[in-house]
Homo-oligomer: A and B are copies of this chain.
Amino acid sequence: MPVTNKQEQTPSADNPVRVGIIGLGTVGGSVYTLLLDNASEIARRVGRFIEVVQVGARRDNPDCKTDNVVVSRDIFDVLDNDSIDIIVELIGGTTTARDVVMQAIEKGKHVVTANKALIAEHGNEIFAAAQKKGVTVAFEAAVAGGIPIIKSIREGLSGNRIQWVAGIINGTGNFILTEMRDKGRAFADVLKEAQALGYAEADPTFDVEGIDAAHKLTIIASIAFGVPLQFDKVYTEGITRITAEDVSYAEQFGYRIKHLGITRKTDVGVELRVHPTLIPDTRLIANVDGVMNAVLVQADKVGPTLYYGAGAGGDPTASAVVADIIDVARVLTSDPDNRVPHLAFQPDALSSTPILAIEDVKTAFYLRLSALPRPGVLAKVASILSDYGINIEAVMQKELKQGGGAGRIPIVLLTQPIIEKGMNAAIEKIAALEEIVEPVMRIRLETLNND
């Protein structure tokens, strides 16, 4: 029963929030594309459209259609555009980027950046200037990519005294350690593969020596404890000396080795350290594998909370950059109706998309049947499922139970996804078989993969 999805209302295109993007590499290009792809969804949330009016880039990005926007080869030209509300700095590095950000602030513009090195090394100066000018410098994307960890600590846990934070905040390092554990491979060997896959740079120092993680940890410590940014005080140790042997011995003791950034407030000071760390394999964070990031925060009232997601990559980083742009857009919009809307979207932009009846939902299923021990039962069941277009993914027929089973055989099946009403009809037929002696147990199954 396909239902036509009523067109969702979006705000008028008048009076957009005007953005200038400086830097159109991987992240810059992804931000540009995201703002186009999701323009109407974002406008439904913000109540205004967000428009990129100028881009500063030394060269084109073939993935971005910039026909309808002013592109300046001199990136500083973007700062001279008085119509721009928000400057988005995505060139990276700490020299030109610092000039861009300081000049933008001086011109009274709000700034959004993904630049962890810039914030960790020059943030104190930058924030002081922003404070003086009454502008915001937003930097969610600087820590753990797409995970909203800055917002979660700074706002979501604002009622707590934070006690410590421990994070897997470098995806390259975590990929290498995961491969070493899963396949017993040596560090150098996996590093080479990570470079081939594009997970590690040609010069991997920033990642494998922990400098990238130290930048991020510096920022986390400041927002957790209210101390100035002090990158130069981070103890930083990389993963280059970890051997496959160590990974294996750790596992035999019930531990995994993760490259963690750890900051903790003690009675005598703040710990600020990046190093390989054994952690018990039963901890959720010990099971964060591959290039994924996760940050575990221990706070006095809420206890432990963990935040997991993609810590790098164009689109995940762009997600965080755009969330910051939207936050600033809300600040720019002084109308009280344009605070964060109660239900995330503007009240007049809510959609009448229908809620599906459960019979119209498609899922896979686990079925448990209790059958009399006669030949051909499974064939009959399979035939009924087949008649309803239901494919079997796996099946397990157990031996006869001893004792209490009263001569009944459990048959357990996993199916491929099917619309529920089809499954209901099939179950009715199966239950009617004379060999099936108890109600059919049915539990839905979801793979929760990324589609």
Residues of chain A whose beta carbon lies under 8 Å from any beta carbon of chain B: 1-3, 5, 8, 30, 34-35, 37-38, 41-42, 44-46, 123, 127-128, 130-131, 134, 136-137, 140, 146-148, 151-161, 166, 222-230, 233, 235, 241-243, 245-246, 249-250, 252-253, 255, 257, 260, 262, 265-273, 275-280, 283-285, 287-288, 296, 298-310, 315-316, 318-323, 325-327, 331, 336-337, 339-340, 342-345, 347, 349-358, 360-361, 364, 366, 368, 394, 396, 410, 412, 414, 441, 443-448, 450
- Give the contacting residue for A446; candidates B278, B336, B446; CB below 8 A: B278
Query: Which residue of chain B has the shortest Cβ distance to A393 in the bound complex?
Result: B253
B159 in contact with A242 (CB, 8 Å): no
A349 in contact with B226 (CB, 8 Å): yes
B222 in contact with A344 (CB, 8 Å): yes
A323 in contact with B156 (CB, 8 Å): yes
Instruction: Given A226-B349, A246-B443, A284-B308, decide whether A38 and B355 contact each other with a Cβ distance below 8 A.
Output: no
A242 in contact with B323 (CB, 8 Å): no
- Give the contacting residue for A262; candidates B253, B319, B396, B446; CB below 8 A: B446
A243 in contact with B441 (CB, 8 Å): yes
Q: How far is the CA of A116 from the CA of B46 in the complex (A)?
A: 25
- Give the contacting residue for A158; candidates B147, B323, B336; CB below 8 A: B323
Instruction: Given A280-B447, A445-B277, decide whether A269 and B134 contact each other with a Cβ distance below 8 A.
Output: no
B222 in contact with A300 (CB, 8 Å): no
Can you give 6 contacting A-B residue pairs, CB < 8 Å? Answer: A253-B412, A278-B364, A278-B444, A285-B448, A301-B318, A303-B450
A2 in contact with B268 (CB, 8 Å): yes
- Give the contacting residue for A148; candidates B134, B157, B229; CB below 8 A: B157
B344 in contact with A268 (CB, 8 Å): no
Instruction: Given A301-B315, A396-B252, decide whether A326 and B158 contact each other with a Cβ distance below 8 A.
Output: yes
B366 in contact with A450 (CB, 8 Å): no
B302 in contact with A226 (CB, 8 Å): no
A228 in contact with B308 (CB, 8 Å): no
A356 in contact with B270 (CB, 8 Å): yes
Chain B residues near A41 (CB, 8 Å)? 160-161
- Give the contacting residue for A45; candidates B152, B158, B268, B345; CB below 8 A: B158
Q: How far is the CA of A315 from the CA of B308 in the complex (A)?
A: 23
A446 in contact with B303 (CB, 8 Å): no
B278 in contact with A301 (CB, 8 Å): no
A228 in contact with B310 (CB, 8 Å): no
- Give the contacting residue for A266; candidates B147, B159, B270, B356; CB below 8 A: B356
- Give the contacting residue for A358; candidates B45, B273, B300, B445; CB below 8 A: B273
A339 in contact with B153 (CB, 8 Å): no
Ranked 7 nearest A-B pairs via Cβ = A148-B156, A159-B322, A226-B345, A305-B309, A146-B302, A302-B319, A235-B358
Q: How far is the CA of A360 from the CA of B273 in the complex (A)?
A: 12
Instruction: Given A307-B305, A344-B153, A358-B235, decide whether A443 and B278 contact each other with a Cβ distance below 8 A.
Output: yes
Chain B residues near A361 (CB, 8 Å)? 235, 271, 273
Chain B residues near A275 (CB, 8 Å)? 443-444
B327 in contact with A3 (CB, 8 Å): no
Q: How far is the CA of A42 from the CA of B267 in the complex (A)?
A: 19
Q: How far is the CA of A225 from the CA of B44 in the complex (A)?
A: 10
Closest beta carbon of chain B to A18's beta carbon, Å: 17
- Give the contacting residue for A277; candidates B8, B331, B444; CB below 8 A: B444
Chain B residues near A128 (CB, 8 Å)? 347
A152 in contact with B152 (CB, 8 Å): yes
Query: Which residue of chain B has the shortest Cβ distance to A156 in the bound complex?
Result: B148
